[in-house]
Chains A and B, each alone.
Chain A
Amino acid sequence: GAVVSQHPSWVICKSGTSVKIECRSLDFQATTMFWYRQFPKQSLMLMATSNEGSKATYEQGVEKDKFLINHASLTLSTLTVTSAHPEDSSFYICSAPSASTQYFGPGTRLTVL
């Protein structure tokens, strides 16, 4: 099946700093990628749809200026958490579609101190 990678797998940062998370489709191209947030013992919450060459589409309630998304190429989307605060601590997962199926990255655990 198709493979999606994420980097880093975990990150710890100080409050007020920015963190960038990368999502790559390794063996296929994706004009669209999706970013999710998952709280402990809960399902995935879609944050935004990343579109190659155009602006991302954000779900209701997600702050565009806080969660910056860039889809610079057909294999790379990045999520930048700006001015991170402890409440942004979470598990962030990306996905990319291939042949009618979403393939997920391994996730990034963000801890903001």
Chain B
Amino acid sequence: AQSVTQLDSQVPVFEEAPVELRCNYSSSVSVYLFWYVQYPNQGLQLLLKYLSGSTLVKGINGFEAEFNKSQTSFHLRKPSVHISDTAEYFCAVSDHSSGAGSYQLTFGKGTKLSVIP
């Protein structure tokens, strides 16, 4: 079984300031890691993902995340946020030992990022 903990339910930040959204996970097997963004009344959009290789992954809209296996973390960062980044952000993991074609996700509870003008 896996679990995902997003340590902050809400993160207010001023426009053009840097931001870090924290995500920790627990799993007994190797996992794939994802960050999704959800704007109001919309589905989830993939921001970035870690499957293998370099532990620093870059995504859309200037976001990046670093996979830290020893700390079981996958924190999301952006050096300078914009008003348009205001949204809900979800960290998720999948067990890639489940076999091809499945990749069921376990989600964190989400972090509401509010960018203040």
Indicate whether A6 reaches chain B with its CB closer than 8 angstroms: yes
| 26 A–B pairs (Cβ distance < 8 Å), ordered by A | A1-B46, A6-B43, A30-B101, A32-B101, A43-B90, A43-B107, A46-B104, A46-B105, A49-B104, A91-B41, A93-B43, A93-B44, A97-B101, A97-B103, A100-B49, A100-B103, A101-B34, A101-B46, A101-B49, A102-B94, A104-B36, A104-B43, A104-B45, A105-B43, A106-B43, A107-B41
**A interface secondary structure, majority:** strand
User: B residues within 8 A CB of A103?
Assistant: 46
User: A residues within 8 A CB of B102?
Assistant: 32, 97
Beyond A1-B46, A93-B43, A106-B43, 13 additional contacts (C-beta under 8 Å) are: A4-B43, A6-B43, A30-B101, A32-B101, A34-B105, A44-B107, A100-B96, A100-B103, A101-B32, A102-B94, A102-B103, A104-B45, A107-B43
| Total residue contacts A-B, CB cutoff 8 A | 59
Residues of chain A whose beta carbon lies under 8 Å from any beta carbon of chain B: 1, 4, 6, 30-32, 34, 42-44, 46, 49, 91, 93, 95, 97, 100-107, 109
B107 near A102: Cβ-Cβ < 8 Å: no
User: A residues within 8 A CB of B92?
Assistant: 102
User: B residues within 8 A CB of A30?
Assistant: 101
Docked CA distance A98–B43 (Å) = 17
A104 near B44: Cβ-Cβ < 8 Å: yes
